[in-house]
Each structure stands twice: as structure tokens, then as C-alpha cells.
Structure 1
Amino acid sequence: MDRIQLDIGASRPSLHPDLGDASCSVHAQFDEQMGQAEVDHVLDQVAGQFTDAPIRAFVPLFVQRLAKEELTRRAAAGGTTTAAVPRSA
């Protein structure tokens, strides 16, 4: 299977550099169905929940998981929306 390469840095200056791989994975899975702007929006909202995280080792995993869950939920609901992403506990 071919690997999709996305130039995250050029279009996403606000996303933390540590989240590049997580972002690419989410974009590869959801861009075609949800659109790049919607995926960016969800990634920004989810990543924002971890801005002040004192330990960042697992942040990329959390962001990837939560963004995929939210985008899957939105896809199942039948489309895109820019509603707020629920905060994780």
C-alpha cells in the first residue's frame, strides 16, 4: 500500500511539530470523506486540549485517537460540522 505524504508544516503552522505523524495519519484516513478543512478543525480542537500538558510523551497518541473518534462520529452522523469537540476526561 502506498504511503500518503502530506506537507503539514506549510498549511498548519499552529499544530505542534510533535503531532506531525498523528496529523498525517488522521488526514490520510479522513480527508477524502470529511475534507481537509474539517480534519484540520478537529485536529486543532483536540490538540488544543493538550496545550499545557506538562508531559507530552503521549499527547500525539491521544490527539490521534480523539480526533479519529470525533471524525468517525461526525461521518456516522452523515456529514461535517464545526461543532465543538467534547473535552476528554
Structure 2
Amino acid sequence: MAASRSTEADVEQRRQLLLRRVIEQGEARIDALADELGVSAMTVHRDLNNLRSRRLLHKRRGTAVALTGLTMETATRFREHRQFQVKE
């Protein structure tokens, strides 16, 4: 049986969880995030690259770092993508 592909909503939900973990911890190791979510490190890298391009976090070698003063409630760029399917 082939592995199922995630929907856009599933991917965005995973990204939201990643961002939440990074904000809560201030900094998180990519391998630890992958283990926690049960996905590959490459999947986490792709998700973090997306979050970085939306200016929601910094990515450094092996870690993701929260932006100073960013909270889930104030991250407008984050909220724009919440409930993606409902908004469409």
C-alpha cells in the first residue's frame, strides 16, 4: 500500500504545531521536532523553510529559533494560514 499524502490542511496544521513548539521553547532541534511529530527531518526542514519565508522564525544549522517577541496570538502571518480550507 502506498503512503498517503498529506492534504494542505494537514501540512499547515503540522506547521502550526512546529511553530508553536519553537515559540514555547525559544529554540528547538530539528531532529527532536521530527521525532516528536513522527515525520522525517527533511519534512521538518521543508516546513521550517516555509515558516521562515513567512518571517515567523529563524532557521540555523540543526535548529529553529523563535523570533524575539513573537507569540502565536500576534503572528498575523501565521493566522493568515489558519483554517485554510474553511477560508477558501
TM-score, L = length of structure 2:
0.31
Which has more helix, going by share of residues? 1
TM-score, L = length of structure 1:
0.30
Which has more strand, going by share of residues? 2
